[in-house]
Chains A and B, each alone.
Chain A
């Protein structure tokens, strides 16, 4: 049985008369984007929390937007992503005084999803950037765990799983830090989200990490990289993904030569383990070096249909 549950996480840039814009630029661009993903056979949709109000504005409501997705062959919106890359006095997961605010923010997000078919994941970056947190200590990780236990308990009451997505430049990035975080979070409330490229850049094997936290895993971002960060690029201000001296482009779509992620092996592990969730394709930086999201997404889906489909 070929894997059918493929979702897409949007970072797209479309050409408009006002230059490259995100799909939520107007109703026409958003419709076009959804239709393009539909043509490739994606069946679910992941997005950022801050796009949902724009979708509501363009379609009348988030539910109306989801209905448009469903008219085009999608089952539903699967995941909503939120993050606090920068530490501020309002939002810093390793600072207890900011937790009430973050819990309230997250509750606002899950309430936006009320009435939808069934968003499965509230996906969060659990920390600010490494640079904003350091020195990273056991205490910063334990305090961060306290926060996400609270958020997870809140979100599961609304039918969504709180799941943590670890950037290579975040303040939980090594196997030891991951273990410590998951030891101090409640498995009922806090789950694991596997981004294949982010782990690989951080020197962490995504396959091993998936198997280690398989029971808590609620999703994946399938994307590739050609680089392991060996130069502490993860500490580059203000954004290591954009500003690292050593690497101008970190992320690539599946199927590119030189990719470090062993997707067939990961797919095999997923199938063998009996895990049965949505696999999400994500593309960051696909517009770099004269490339574009349309082609990157098509080529990645080709890889799914022609290479990963062989893994059964």
Chain B
């Protein structure tokens, strides 16, 4: 079906532990897997250190000699481009002195804007155009942001959106099921406080569904603000309180506490999936969405196994011509 969607796949699921996705041959096999399944566009995730050697531009450059060298490597695996990079400015990294920065703290804003620059410079050289950023820390860390708090983070993202635009990159804020921007009202407030020319949204279908937000409704309400999509399913929704547990990243998402749900994110078409994937993609098509839809299988088991299922679903259930 002809539409403005570029279908891609995130590599984050391959890099599930500290040192399991480092060797060139492992990168090559992951990319060939995706290429054979019809995904010729990929998304990278920002990381830190020698074992995240696809997670920072300078590490990519060192590993491949240059960005052109990396692009040639991708091409040799049947990958056309890197559409986007996911970046959480609150995740400490050794390249930033392990600084623990908060987007909710104005004192950190200069450093966060500076830290984004390497990614902004990197993306266009790999054919990419979207920096996908986590807008806030987790809700259990911040408590309710309120209008003032949302205003603080909005000021940061307006600055960073302007910097990204100067670099030929669009900024998309990725709302997740743990974040402090957590309700439909929070989202409206964030959008109202940010410049539509500079700041957009990344819709993650599973993350929003877990948080109790209908991703299709959100897209239909703000088609002009949606710049990026992560497509995956879930079988569970937060009870409304689980994301507020201290250490929800582990307590909730790793199944260590509460209902002990050990896996939250699932492949497309999973039995019992809560995301109306056909309905959401139809909404994108109806709304004239033009951009990348990145399929994700993060927090799942065997990445190649899940990528095959996701490719099948797109081809056979949604009529996407991938191959």
Identify the A interface with B (CB < 8 A): 14-15, 32, 35-36, 38-41, 72-73, 255, 257, 292, 294-295, 298-299, 301-303, 305-306
Could you write out 20 A-B pairs with CB less than 8 Å apart? A32-B309, A35-B316, A36-B308, A39-B37, A39-B38, A39-B308, A39-B312, A39-B315, A40-B308, A72-B312, A72-B316, A294-B33, A294-B302, A295-B29, A298-B307, A299-B29, A299-B33, A302-B35, A303-B32, A305-B36
Q: Is B41 an interface residue (CB 8 A)?
A: no
Which A residue's beta carbon lies closest to that of B269? A35
Q: Which of B304, B315, B323 contacts A295 (CB 8 A)?
A: B304
Q: Is B311 an interface residue (CB 8 A)?
A: yes
Residue from A32, A73, A292, A299 whose CB has the most chain B CB atoms within 10 Å? A299
* CB within 8 Å for A302 and B308 given contacts A38-B316, A72-B316: no
Q: Is B305 an interface residue (CB 8 A)?
A: yes
Which A residue's beta carbon lies closest to that of B271? A28
A-contact 0/1 string along B19-31, CB 8 Å cutoff: 0000001000100
Min CB distance A70 to B, Å, is 12
Number of interface residues of B (CB under 8 A): 23
- Name the B residues within 8 Å of A14 (CB-CB): 305
Min CB distance B273 to A, Å, is 14
A305 to B301, CA, bound (A): 26
Min CB distance A309 to B, Å, is 11
Min CB distance B18 to A, Å, is 16
Identify the B interface with A (CB < 8 A): 25, 29, 32-33, 35-38, 77-78, 301-305, 307-309, 311-312, 315-316, 323
Which B residue's beta carbon lies closest to that of A73? B316
- Name the B residues within 8 Å of A41 (CB-CB): 323
The answer to whether B312 and A35 touch across the interface, beta carbons within 8 angstroms, is: yes
Min CB distance A25 to B, Å, is 14
* CB within 8 Å for A301 and B302 given contacts A32-B309, A39-B315: no
* CB within 8 Å for A39 and B309 given contacts A302-B78, A305-B36: yes
A202 to B282, CA, bound (A): 55
The answer to whether B304 and A38 touch across the interface, beta carbons within 8 angstroms, is: no
The answer to whether B36 and A298 touch across the interface, beta carbons within 8 angstroms, is: yes
A35 to B29, CA, bound (A): 21
The answer to whether B309 and A298 touch across the interface, beta carbons within 8 angstroms, is: no
- Name the A residues within 8 Å of B312 (CB-CB): 35-36, 38-39, 72
The answer to whether B311 and A39 touch across the interface, beta carbons within 8 angstroms, is: yes
Which B residue's beta carbon lies closest to that of A303? B32
The answer to whether B32 and A35 touch across the interface, beta carbons within 8 angstroms, is: no
Which B residue's beta carbon lies closest to that of A28? B271
The answer to whether B301 and A15 touch across the interface, beta carbons within 8 angstroms, is: yes
The answer to whether A294 and B304 touch across the interface, beta carbons within 8 angstroms, is: yes
The answer to whether A15 and B36 touch across the interface, beta carbons within 8 angstroms, is: no
Min CB distance B308 to A, Å, is 4
The answer to whether B323 and A302 touch across the interface, beta carbons within 8 angstroms, is: no
A303 to B35, CA, bound (A): 10
Min CB distance A257 to B, Å, is 8
* CB within 8 Å for A36 and B36 given contacts A295-B29, A299-B29: no
Which A residue's beta carbon lies closest to that of B322? A39
- Name the B residues within 8 Å of A298 (CB-CB): 32-33, 36-37, 304, 307-308
Which A residue's beta carbon lies closest to that of B37? A39
Min CB distance A263 to B, Å, is 15
* CB within 8 Å for A36 and B316 given contacts A295-B33, A298-B32, A299-B36: no
Min CB distance A37 to B, Å, is 8
- Name the B residues within 8 Å of A39 (CB-CB): 37-38, 308-309, 311-312, 315
- Name the B residues within 8 Å of A32 (CB-CB): 309
Further 12 A-B residue pairs, CB within 8 A, beyond A40-B311, A305-B35: A32-B309, A38-B312, A39-B308, A294-B304, A298-B32, A298-B36, A298-B304, A299-B29, A299-B33, A299-B36, A302-B33, A303-B32
A306 to B323, CA, bound (A): 12
* CB within 8 Å for A302 and B304 given contacts A35-B309, A35-B316, A41-B323: no
Which A residue's beta carbon lies closest to that of B78? A306
- Name the A residues within 8 Å of B316 (CB-CB): 35, 38, 72-73
Q: Which of B25, B36, B302, B303 contacts A40 (CB 8 A)?
A: B36
